[in-house]
Amino acid sequence: MAELSDDDMMGLALAEARTALEYGVFPVGAVLSSGTRILGRSHKTMVSNHLNHAEMNLFHRVFTGDYTFSRNDNLTLYTTLEPCIMCFGTMLHLPISRLVFAMPDAYGGCAHMRLENSPPRHLSRAVEIVGGVRRQEACELFAKFLETTTEEFWLTGGASHFQAAVKAGLPALQG
């Protein structure tokens, strides 16, 4: 089987994000892989449930199904937006050794967090983090969402750093 690049895998995550957008949901998509084998894909669901992030939906699908894993699986998570603390923290409990995301998120993203002061459990394995893969395409999906959403949070300027970055077509700056 031909090796799928980060670009290819992010394309699958972007397709999931488009599905979320079609339902009027914040367009985040995620894919989990083991080498060239795709273990699962998902997108954010339900506007009103803050637990239904693309990554959490994906983790539930993969890790509560038939897939049995070991801590040495070295899986890669692809997501269209830098994961929040809930998704990033959950990722640290799973055999994910690599995170690839499209768009940085200064409002809620946690991939830039330093883990030196974390509990020992999380210090024992490194996670390689790659940001900015197909960032512009993800940014365009978020811009379309912001143009069409009816959610009060976004209409009243919620996550202003993120909205400004999307509208400028630039990666959200940290800080």
Residue 57 pLDDT greater than 80, yes or no: yes
**Per-residue CA distances from 90 to 84, 93, 99, 133 (Å):** 10, 5, 12, 22
Cβ-defined contacts of 122-126 (< 8 Å, 24+): 122/92, 125/71, 125/97, 126/97
Q: What is the mean pLDDT of residues 25-47?
A: 93
Q: CA-CA distance, 112 to 175, in Å (whole number)?
A: 11
What 3-state DSSP class applies to 16?
A: helix
pLDDT tens for each residue of 160-171: 989 998 988 755
Average pLDDT, the chain: 89
Q: CA-CA distance, 125 to 75, in Å (whole number)?
A: 13
**Helical axes 135-148 vs 160-168, angle rounded to 10°:** 110
- Cβ atoms of 16 and 10 within 8 Å: the answer is no
Structure tokens at 32: 């989990």
- Cβ atoms of 142 and 135 within 8 Å: the answer is no
Q: What pLDDT does 2 receive? A: 66
Q: What pLDDT does 173 receive? A: 42
Q: CA-CA distance, 27 to 16, in Å (whole number)?
A: 8
Q: CA-CA distance, 2 to 73, in Å (whole number)?
A: 20
Residue 156 pLDDT greater than 90, yes or no: yes
Provide the whole-model pTM: 0.90
What 3-state DSSP class applies to 162?
A: helix
pLDDT tens for each residue of 106-150: 888 998 877 777 777 766 678 899 999 999 999 999 999 999 999
Q: Which domains does the chain have, with CATH numbers?
A: 6-168 (3.40.140.10)
Residue 20 pLDDT greater than 60, yes or no: yes
Catalytic residue flag (residue 3)? no
Q: What pLDDT does 172 receive? A: 47
- In terms of pLDDT, which residue wins out, 112 or 23? 23
Among candidate residues 55, 82, 116, 151, the one labeled active-site is 55
Q: What is the mean pLDDT of residues 60-70?
A: 81
Q: What pLDDT does 140 receive? A: 95
Q: CA-CA distance, 102 to 1, in Å (whole number)?
A: 25
Q: What pLDDT does 44 receive? A: 97
Q: Shortest CA distance to 162 belongs to which of 46, 28, 38, 18?
A: 28
- In terms of pLDDT, which residue wins out, 17 or 168? 17
Determine which of 8-12, 101-105, 171-175 has the lowest per-residue pLDDT on average: 171-175
Q: CA-CA distance, 122 to 45, in Å (whole number)?
A: 29
Q: What pLDDT does 174 receive? A: 42
